[in-house]
Amino acid sequence: MCYSYQNEICSNQQGGIILTKLVLDEIFLSYDIINTLKNSLKIFESKGLSHIKGENISIITKQLHVTVVCLDELDALPNETYRDILFDFTKCSNEDFKAVFKNVLTQERIDYFSSHSLISTSSYGSASSETTITKLNHILHDANYLYNNFASNNKWVVHQSVSACFNCGGDHGRNDCKNTVTKPALCRSRLSIKRRGIVN
């Protein structure tokens, strides 16, 4: 821990105060960093893929990779992170992508229960054969590969909510409306559109 820092500090600066500061920095900075990284995983868990425009898996996998590598280096990577991320990948709008990760998640559950029983199975990402960080690196790479494959073949379509005109209820913005803008019509259309759930 702090002994590695001692070699980098001049011998006339290796007193008790310096060593105490290094120990406190190591303890408290690591704790803050771990909490921040775990919170970013919780945000991904709660918002899923929808918080990134277009459900861009390339962006998400880069963010997740940095987070899990840092947590692993701090010996704070929870074992359940792998299953959590698999589950989060099943919450997207692309049915083919979702199906792949549902299958992998099912296999992971089988592996988990098999490793806790007398039955022995060998499969993708078996809990007994790979570390959590290794499994995460594989799955993040696979997710990115699948996304790029689907996107390059125009199979990654994210359904966006349709904007609706508050004046006439059409599929354009109010500023582009060709109809005469009247206050009562505007209020009725806005209320009707909200009731249909087209806008928030």
Residue with tokens 């060709």: 178
pTM, rounded to two decimals = 0.60
Note down the domain range covering 174.
161-200
Q: pLDDT by residue (tens digit) across 127-167?
A: 457 899 999 999 999 999 999 998 888 888 665 444 556 55
Q: pLDDT by residue (tens digit) across 174-184?
A: 667 777 666 55
- pLDDT value of position 14: 62
Mark whether 138 and 167 lie in a shared domain: no
Mark whether 111 and 131 lie in a shared domain: yes
Mark whether 146 and 197 lie in a shared domain: no
- Residue 67 belongs to some domain of the structure: yes
**Dihedral (CA of 99, 103, 108, 110) sign:** positive
Mean pLDDT score, 79-106: 90
* CA–CA distance, 177 with 118 (Å, rounded to integer): 68
Mark whether 85 and 177 lie in a shared domain: no
- Residue 24 belongs to some domain of the structure: no
Contact 146, 156 (CB under 8 A): no
